[in-house]
Structure 1
Amino acid sequence: MTKQEAVITLFSSFQWLLFIFVNTVVVPISVGAAFQLPSEVVEMTIRYSFIITGAACILQAWAGHRYPILDSHSGLMWGLILNLGISASALGMDFSTVGGGIATGVLLAGIVLIFMAAFDLISIIQKIITPMVMSVYTFLLTFHLTFVFFKGMFKMTESGTFDLPVSFFSIGVVIFVIFLMIKGGKRIANFSILIGMTGGWLLYRILFPSHAPEEGVAAAKFIIFPFGVPNLELGIIIVSFFGVLMNLTNTFVSIRAAAEIYKEKIQHHQYRKSIFITGIFTSISAVFGLVPYTPFTSTIGFLESTKLLKKNPFFIGGLMFMLLGIIPPLAAFLGTMPLTVGNAVLFVAYLQLFGTSLNSLKGMLFNSHTIYRLAVPVIIGVCVMNIPPEQFGSVPPFMRPLISNGFMMGVLISIFLEKFVNWNKVTSKLKAG
C-alpha cells in the first residue's frame, strides 16, 4: 500500500466511523428516555450498542452479504418501540411489562430468522417482498429519514421555538456539503461527509461556545433485559414479532441496491447468510435492550455520495466503533459532536436515496390505473407518518402500534395490492392499447 493509499484509507475509515456514530448514538438514548430508564442503564445500552453494532457491521461485510453496508438499529423498529414506550400508560401497562413483551417478540423473531436462513426458507419471504414492495419501502424510507434528519438539524429553544443562529448554521452546513459534492473535485467529493461533519463540528464550537457539549458515555454496570424480563403480553409480542419480520424488506432492498452500485449479480446465499446473521444480532438485541438490527438501506446514499467502495475502511471504521464502547472516554469525545451538525450532513447524504427509489422503478409502466400500485401505499404511509401519535388514541390499544406506524402500514398495503391485484394483466392491457 502506497502512502497516498494509506492516507485515503485512514480518512475513509474516520468517515465511516462518524457515519456509523451519528446513525447509532441517538437510538439507545431516545429509547431509554421513552422508557424512563436510569442514566446508568442508558449509558450501559449506549456502550453495548457501539460494541454490538461494530461487530454486526464487520460480520455482515465479511461473512454475510459481503458489502460495506451499515448494520444497525432498524428505523422501523425504533419508531415502533418508541411508540410502545410512549403509549404504555394508554395501554394500561407499566414500562417493564411493555419492555418484556417487546423482548419476547424480538427474541422469537430472531430465532425464526435463524431457522429460516438455516433451512433455506428465504424463497417464502421473496414471494411476499416483491420488487414493487421494495420500491415502496425505499420511498417510505427516504421520506422518513429526511423528515428525521431535517427536524434534527434545527435546535429548539426552551420555549419550543427555533434557535435561529444554530438553525441557520445547519442550513449553511447543508449548502456547503452539497457544494462539495457537486462542485468539488473527485477527492473532495469523496470525503464531503467527513469534511462537513468535522468542519461543521469545529466551526460550531467556535461560533457557539456557550452551548454545552452533549453528555458523554460513562462506565456502567452490566445488566440484561433492561426494559423488562420477557413475558407473555400477547399484543405487544405480536406487533414486535411482525415488525422484525418486516425488517427483511431492508435486507432485500439493501443487498439489491448495493449489487447495482458494485455492478454485481446477487447470489442467493448472500440473502441467506445475511438473514442468518441478522437473526443472531436480533436475538442479541433482545437480551441487551437494544433496537433490533438490520442492514441500512440508507447506506446506499452514503456510498453514492462518497464513491468510496472499498471494504477495508469499513472494517476499520467498524472496529473503531467497537472500541468506542470498550473505551468510554473515546465515546465521550465523539459525544461532544453537535447532533444538529451530524443531522445536517446526513440529510444531504440521504437525499441520494431518492434517486435510488426512482431507479428501482426502471422498466415499470404506469398509467392512470396502475399508478395506484405505487401511489396508494407510499402516500398513505407518508400521511400516517405525519399524524401525531395522540390522534390514534381511539384505536384499540393492541392495534395502535401497527396503525400508527407509516412504515408498516405502507408496506402492508403494498403487499396486499401485490397479492390481490393482477398488475401484469393490467399492464398487458395498457401495452395492448
Structure 2
Amino acid sequence: MNELLKASNWISGLQWLFFIFANTVVIPVTIGAAFQLSQEKIIFLLQFSFITVGIACMIQALIGHRRAIMEGQSGLWWGIILTLCSTAGIQGISLETLGGSLATGIIISGILTIIIGLTGTGQYLSKFFNPAVMGVFMFLFGTNLIRIFLKGMLGLPFGSNAEKASVNVPVALLSIIIAIIVMIISIKAPAYIARYALLIGIIVGWTVYSILFHSKHSSEEAGSFSFHIFPIGEPAWNSGIIITAVIAGLLNLANTFGALKGTDAMYQSETTKKQYRSSLTISGLFVSISGLFGLVPFAPYVSSIGFLSQTQILKRIPFIIGGFMFVIMGVIPLIGHLFSLLPLSVGSAVLFVAYLQLFNSSFHFFKQVKFNTVNVYRSAIPVFVGIIIMTLPPSTFATLPGIIRPIMSNGLLVGILLALILENFFSWDRYGLPKEKQSKNV
C-alpha cells in the first residue's frame, strides 16, 4: 500500500501511460478506416482497446511474466491485417468476409497460443527463433510498418482504396514536418522531454492539422459505452485467410520471445519456463478476446525494451499504475469519441519515427550472427525476398490458388517463414570455413 501512495511511482506511472497511449491510439483508428466502419464502431474499437490493453498490462505484471513490459495490440498482426485489407478487393474477398474470417482465425490462433502456454512448449519453440531469425523478423517487421506509416503520411487511405489514391501534397508536407520535429525532440531535447516526443508530436500535429484543414468533428455525441461483437464482420470461413491468421498467430510468438529475452539482462535473470507459460497463456486469452471484438491481437511489445533502457523504470508498480489509468481513459466515452477523430496522417508521422528504432533492433540480433560470404544466404534470402514481395502489386498473385494467396502475397510472413526454414534445416555455422575445418565439424 505504501508503494502505491508514493508520488514517484505515480509520476513514473504517468510516463508509462503516455507510452502505452502513443503505441495504442492509432491502431484501432486505422483498422476502422481500413474496414470502412461507422464512427460509432470506431469509437467502440478505441475505447475497448484502451480498456483491454490496460487490463492486459496489469495482469501480465501481476501473474504473467511479472515484468514491466507493455502488452498491447501486435504490430505484426496490425501490419498483416492492413495488408489483407488493401489486397482484399483484388483477391475477390469482401471486407465483411475478410473481417469474419479474420475473427475466426484469430480466435483459433488464440486458443493455440493458450495451449502452447499451458503445455509449457513455448520455451522450446523459442529455440527456433534464434538471433538470425529474430534479425529477419525485426527488419521485415519494421519495413512493413514503416511502409504503412509512410502511406498514411502521404494522405493515402487505409484499406482497399489505397491503391487507387494519389498523394495529398499539403497533408504529406505537414506529416513530414511533424516527423522531423519528433526526431529533433528525440535527439536534441533533454531526456525528461525526449521521452514525451511521441505525445508532443500527436498534440502539436493534431492542433496544426485542425487549423490548416478545418478537420470535421463527428456530429455523433459521445454517449454511454456500448459493446459490438464481431464489429468487422460476422464469423466466416475463407480457408486462405484463416490459414494466414493461424500462421500469423504462431509467428506472433516471436514478440513474446523477443520481449522476454531482451529484458533478461535488465532484470538480471533468464526467463523461466513458468514465465513463458504464464505470459503465453495470458496473451492467448487476449488474442481470443480480440477475435470476438474486432481488435488487433495482443503480444508483449519489444519496443518496451527501449523505453526501459531510457527511463530505467523497471519496477512493476508504476507500470501497473499506468495500465490502470489507461483503463480509466477507456471507460470515459468522451475520450474515446475525441481520439476517434485523430487524423491518420498525424498518427502515422509520429509512429513512423518511433518504429525506425526497429532497424537498430534488427542489427542488434544480426550482430550475434557470424556472417561470411557463404552463410550470408541464411538472412539475405528471407530479407530480400520479403521486401520484394512487399513491393509487388497485389494483382501479381491473382493466379495463385486462393488457399495460399493471402500468405504468399504477404512479404512479412514469407520472409519470416523462409528464415525459420533456413535456420532450422541447415547448419550454417560450418559453411564458409576452410575445407579441413568443415570436415572436423561434420
TM-score, normalised to structure 2's length?
Answer: 0.84
Q: CA deviation at 1:321?
A: 2.9
More displaced 10-residue stretch of structure 1: 53-62 or 38-47 = 38-47
Matched, 1:378 2:386: no
Give deviations 1:88-133, integer Å, cap 9, x for gaps. Answer: 5666665554444333332222222212211212244224323321
Residue 423 of structure 1, CA deviation: 0.9
Change (3 A) 1:335 1:93: closer
- CA RMSD for the aligned pairs? 3.3
Q: Percent identity?
A: 36
Shift of 1:303: 4.6
Q: 2:31 aligns with which of 28, 33, 38?
A: 28
Tell me the residue number matched to 1:54: 54
Distance 2:258 2:232 in 1: 31
2:258 corresponding residue in structure 1: 253
Distance 1:305 1:173 in 2: 22
How does 1:308-347 map onto structure 2 within 5 Å? Answer: 309=314, 311-347=316-352
How far off is 1:177 after superposition?
2.6
Distance 1:431 1:182 in 2: 50
Structure 1 window deviating more from structure 2 (359-368 vs 18-27): it is 18-27
1:241 — aligned with what? 246
| Residue 208 of structure 1: aligned partner | 212
Unaligned runs of 5+ in 1: none
Query: How far apart are the structure 1 equivalents of 2:57 and 2:410?
Result: 27
Deviates most, 134-143 or 44-53: 44-53
Residue 384 of structure 1: how far off its partner (Å): 1.4
For 1:363 and 1:115, the matched residues in 2 are separated by: 31
Q: Could you tell me which amino acid in structure 1 is paired with residue 273 of structure 2?
A: H
Indicate if the aligned counterparts of 1:189 and 1:305 stay in contact, CA closer than 8 A. no
* 2:375/2:429 contact within 8 Å kept: no
Aligned pairs for 1:5-404 within 5 A: 5=8, 8-9=11-12, 11-33=14-36, 37-85=37-85, 95-155=95-155, 160-164=166-170, 166-205=171-210, 207-208=211-212, 210-213=214-217, 219=224, 221-230=226-235, 233-260=238-265, 264-304=269-309, 309=314, 311-404=316-409
- Please say which of residues 296-305 and 134-143 is displaced more in the overlay: 296-305
Q: Is the 8 A contact 1:192 1:306 kept in 2?
A: no
State the Cα distance separating 1:370 from its structure 2 match: 1.2
Q: 1:264: how far off?
A: 4.5
Pair 1:302–1:339, CA change in 2 (3 A): farther
Structure 2 unpaired stretches of 5+: 158-163
Are 1:305 and 1:352, in contact at CA under 8 Å, matched by a contact in 2?
A: no
Whether the aligned pair in 1 keeps the contact of 2:9 and 2:317 (CA below 8 Å) is no
How far residue 361 of structure 1 moved from its aligned partner, in angstroms, is 2.2
Q: Cα distance, 1:387 vs. partner? A: 1.9
Q: Residues 389 and 316 from structure 1, CA distance in 2 versus in 1: closer, same or farther, beyond 3 angstroms?
A: farther
Query: Quick one: distance in 1 between partners of 2:86 and 2:153?
Result: 23
- Residue 169 of structure 2 aligns with an amino acid whose one-letter code is D
Cα distance in structure 1, aligned partners of 2:227 and 2:8: 40
Give the stretch that moved more between structures: 374-383 or 284-293.
284-293
Moved more, 249-258 or 87-96: 87-96
- Matched pairs, number: 428
Cα distance, 1:417–1:58 mapped onto 2, change above 3 Å: same
* Cα distance in 2 for residues equivalent to 1:168 and 1:89: 30
Deviation of residue 23 (structure 1)?
4.3
- Decide whether aligned partners of structure 1 residues 152 and 413 sit closer, same or farther in structure 2, where only a CA change above 3 A counts: same
Q: Which amino acid aligns with 1:208?
A: L
Opposite residue 216 of structure 2, the aligned amino acid is: A
Alignment partner of 2:186: what SS? helix
Q: 1:63 to 1:170 in 2, by over 3 A?
A: same
Q: What letter is aligned with 2:361?
A: T
The one-letter code matched in structure 1 to 2:295 is L
Partner SS for 1:360: helix
Q: Aligned letter for 1:19?
A: A
Distance 1:10 1:123 in 2: 30
Describe the shift of the 1:432–1:212 C-alpha distance in structure 2 as closer, same or farther (beyond 3 A): farther
Aligned mates of 2:143, 2:435 — CA distance in 1: 30
Q: Which moved more, 1:142-151 or 1:1-10?
A: 1-10
Find 2:417's aligned residue among 412, 415, 418.
Answer: 412
SS in 2 for 1:25: helix
Q: Shift of the alpha carbon at 1:414?
A: 0.5
Amino acid at match of 1:102: L
**Partner Cα separation in structure 2 for residue 330 and residue 233 of structure 1:** 36
Cα separation, 2, equivalents of 1:119 and 1:418: 25
1: CA distance, partners of 2:436 / 2:223? 63
2: distance between equivalents of 1:430 and 1:315? 56
CA shift for structure 1 position 403: 0.4
Taking a change above 3 Å as real, the CA distance of residues 214 and 141 of structure 1, as seen in their structure-2 partners, is farther
Q: 1:178 to 1:316 in 2, by over 3 A?
A: same
1:134–1:252 Cα contact (<8 Å) kept: no
| Cα distance in 2 between the residues matched to 1:356 and 1:261 | 16
